[in-house]
Structure 1
């Protein structure tokens, strides 16, 4: 049987609150009992002090304890003098009936509070009046005459209330604590239910929204939460939903773009062949050149798609070795020197430092060739391409900036997506597949680096390749 989170939270909060209430009530009852007994014992001590004063007067008048020994009536009078209640209030005006005083049945009787087995002892703790032998734990008060202790008046201490009135008071206090504890327990149950419901509600909302995501509704969003962990969970879910929505949009755009890229050369070849079949175009060398160009374009696209797919699944082969970076960049520029000259582009170089990186030489050449090829395809002649190699903070940086045209901010953010060319501002003159930068970024990540793009100060595009520095062998 699965226990729901609501029930777990409810039980945890309710049991913790109930346990605290029980502990508090038990502690309060224990403290109340001890305090009440202490109060009764203090009242008894006050009674003993008053009785000791009367006994001192009796001792001084009679010249000793002999007069009190065996005189039960005299001893009772002394006790009554101490326990006698105050005089009743004055009667009502003439002609008005006297109301019966409260506790009339107890009128004229000593009050119950503080009563107990009181005894008098001489200076040597020998019994004078009463019937209990002296014990060390008795409550006692000295009988002092002319500065000399002539005896003691004492009684056993109370361990718990003995009078009916005191027991009723103690019982009522216990009932009050019990009623208060029950009310507090009911309130804690209500608070536990509300708290558990409040905590579980956003989690249920996340679960419901997650099921909608699983069904393909990637536009599902949750209301922003608070600043606690549940609010952070809500924000993370919305972040996940946005990422899934963007990935789905990218997937659909990918299928649309790849379909377009594959259809274009096939449509051209199909049209050329139909023209030959219909006798509109002769089957000559120009036709073969056109068909050959389209098949090459289709082959490049398929090869790039294959490379990108292998990069995405981590199937590209790499053989990392420490490599000096400057010679690799210089050789790449040498390979493109004539190509740049034919495209009307000027190369500016700022390559310095004895920098080494851990790299696969073949893949790094592939990356640089793709970046430089993009310059040949998209930079307007006459143009300038500035290539730099710098190092610092544990990184080697290869920078490639061109003179334009550039791309807008929206295209810049999508520049490394497959089949993205930024065609609105950078001419497609050589039939690029739009996969080169995506492949370059995968190669950079495989080297533990990253490839980023920004607007160049010259008006074009600035590409920045960062690779971890390696100590020279």
Structure 2
């Protein structure tokens, strides 16, 4: 049968853990609130996200419309201004030719000014001679009921062109101005401008609609895993410890789902362990209590005499119960960080060898051979440990080996060095541990069926205490075993402890 191996410890289970806050550092002030009952919201997360996308799109569309409309309008204004100037220049050139042909201002010459007025109903034309007298008024001051000279200062919608003869003499000026926003715009130009604004408006509306659709789809895809996590959390709260989100992925939502599932698995294990612990504690306490009760009742009924022999039975059960409670109290203190951890430089070769020497007679009384071997490169191996806690851990392993090794067997305690770690191993020729039972070796009150049949009197707490002690030293424990041939427990402890608080989360 193959030899099975199992390793446990803080550096194995929490390789990325850089420490936590101990119980001594926790704030004494605390509070607790029950979870608020789930209420249906008027607007779901998806609807609020869709509204946010739509509002953002509307704001962008409005900015786009304002900026583009302003630029577009300026382009049309510039286009109108150029058309006006071209018309004024053309009218001035025509009037100059007619003035030269007629030898002066004649009604026939001025009639050509009406051609500019007829170009558009929104264009007013005025012709003045070189002295500023109005010779022709094509609707310039029609709203005032008479002809007035053109203003000295004209607005940006008014243009003028001088009427010059070939000799260079200026004989007059032509003034043009538009009477409306569409002056000098052809029907095609006006349609183009109108269609442009319509297209911009349609594009804005389409962009808002598309943003709403995209926002709804995106928010729904984002809200679906969040809703899944919420429902799973509610299932766990209602007692369904097997509920999982099943979310996976490399993004934040996928990592959140995986972390949540890992947390749920840990919670499920902790709750099951707590229930099992309650059952085990009740069972372990019940055994000595029932033995004491049966003995006392028998003595009260006269079945057993009240002598030293039967009182010793009660005393033994009381002592066993006291040891069990003491071991549980120590384990609780270790787990909660209430046991002080005082590391100091210690010669581990001397520490382990002295333990073996002190226990040697006890092993001989059990018919076992206890040996010690130093596999370290020197006679001294200085490490930073808590000697009291480490002594207890090694004694627990030695006691465990003595308890489950039949008479005639042997136990070997060895110490060695592996780079920056020290290795302390306890090997026995005992009954061994089944492969499937190795992961449960360090659980509270756990004992294999074979060890229970031996009725060795073990409390089932020693290895759990040992694991907590090694965790305090930032170390690991390895157990290798084969049924019927023996078991080896190996403690791996760093020579130098890191200067950081030790987490006690499990």
Q: What is the aligned partner in structure 2 of residue 411 from structure 1?
A: 437
The answer (yes or no) to whether the contact 2:428–2:486 under 8 Å persists in 1 is: yes
Does residue 1:162 correspond to 2:162, yes or no?
Answer: no
State the alpha-carbon separation in 1 of the partners of residues 62 and 411 from structure 2: 84
Alignment of 1:142-181 (within 5 A): 162-164=183-185, 165=187, 166-181=189-204
State the alpha-carbon separation in 1 of the partners of residues 259 and 384 from structure 2: 36
Q: What is the aligned partner in structure 2 of residue 265 from structure 1?
A: 288
Q: What is the aligned partner in structure 2 of residue 387 from structure 1?
A: 414
Alignment of 1:128-277 (within 5 A): 131=174, 162-164=183-185, 165=187, 166-276=189-299
Q: Deviations over 1:237-265 (max 9, x none)?
A: 22222111111111111111111111222
SS of corresponding position for 2:174 = coil
- Residues 1:18 and 1:125: Cα distance change in structure 2 (over 3 Å): farther
- Residues 1:34 and 1:276: Cα distance change in structure 2 (over 3 Å): same
Alignment of 1:61-460 (within 5 A): 131=174, 162-164=183-185, 165=187, 166-276=189-299, 286-341=309-364, 342-353=367-378, 354-380=380-406, 382-393=409-420, 395-403=421-429, 405-424=431-450, 428=454, 430-447=456-473, 449-455=474-480, 460=487
SS of corresponding position for 2:456 = coil
The answer (yes or no) to whether the contact 2:445–2:460 under 8 Å persists in 1 is: yes
Higher relative contact order (CA 8 A, sep 6+): 2
- Residues 1:222 and 1:68: Cα distance change in structure 2 (over 3 Å): farther
- Residues 1:26 and 1:340: Cα distance change in structure 2 (over 3 Å): farther
Q: What is the aligned partner in structure 2 of residue 469 from structure 1?
A: 496
State the alpha-carbon separation in 2 of the partners of residues 469 and 369 from structure 1: 22
- Residues 1:207 and 1:470: Cα distance change in structure 2 (over 3 Å): closer
Question: RMSD value over aligned CA atoms?
Answer: 4.6
The answer (yes or no) to whether the contact 2:426–2:490 under 8 Å persists in 1 is: yes
State the alpha-carbon separation in 2 of the partners of residues 462 and 170 from structure 1: 90
The answer (yes or no) to whether the contact 2:401–2:430 under 8 Å persists in 1 is: no
Compute the TM-score of the two structures, normalised by the length of structure 2.
0.65
Q: What is the aligned partner in structure 2 of residue 23 from structure 1?
A: 63
State the alpha-carbon separation in 1 of the partners of residues 325 and 466 from structure 2: 16
Structure 1 residue 38, shift from structure 2 partner: 6.8
More off after superposition, 173-182 vs 318-327: 318-327
Gaps of 5+ in 2: 1-40, 120-158, 499-506
Structure 1 residue 129, shift from structure 2 partner: 8.2
Structure 1 residue 191, shift from structure 2 partner: 3.2
Q: Deviations over 1:168-196 (max 9, x none)?
A: 43133112212331232233234334433
Structure 1 residue 346, shift from structure 2 partner: 4.4
- Residues 1:163 and 1:313: Cα distance change in structure 2 (over 3 Å): same
Structure 1 residue 433, shift from structure 2 partner: 0.7
State the alpha-carbon separation in 2 of the partners of residues 384 and 365 from structure 1: 17
State the alpha-carbon separation in 2 of the partners of residues 5 and 334 from structure 1: 73
SS of corresponding position for 2:375 = strand
State the alpha-carbon separation in 2 of the partners of residues 124 and 264 from structure 1: 135
- Residues 1:334 and 1:121: Cα distance change in structure 2 (over 3 Å): farther
Compute the TM-score of the two structures, normalised by the length of structure 1.
0.68
Q: Deviations over 1:324-349 (max 9, x none)?
A: 32222222222223334432454444
SS of corresponding position for 1:463 = strand
SS of corresponding position for 1:218 = coil
Q: Size of the alignment, in residue pairs?
A: 408
Q: What is the aligned partner in structure 1 of residue 144 from structure 2?
A: none
SS of corresponding position for 1:388 = strand
SS of corresponding position for 1:131 = strand
Structure 1 residue 386, shift from structure 2 partner: 4.6
SS of corresponding position for 1:336 = helix
Q: What is the aligned partner in structure 2 of residue 137 from structure 1?
A: none
- Residues 1:344 and 1:25: Cα distance change in structure 2 (over 3 Å): same
State the alpha-carbon separation in 2 of the partners of residues 212 and 311 from structure 1: 33
State the alpha-carbon separation in 1 of the partners of residues 170 and 428 from structure 2: 120
More off after superposition, 295-304 vs 381-390: 381-390
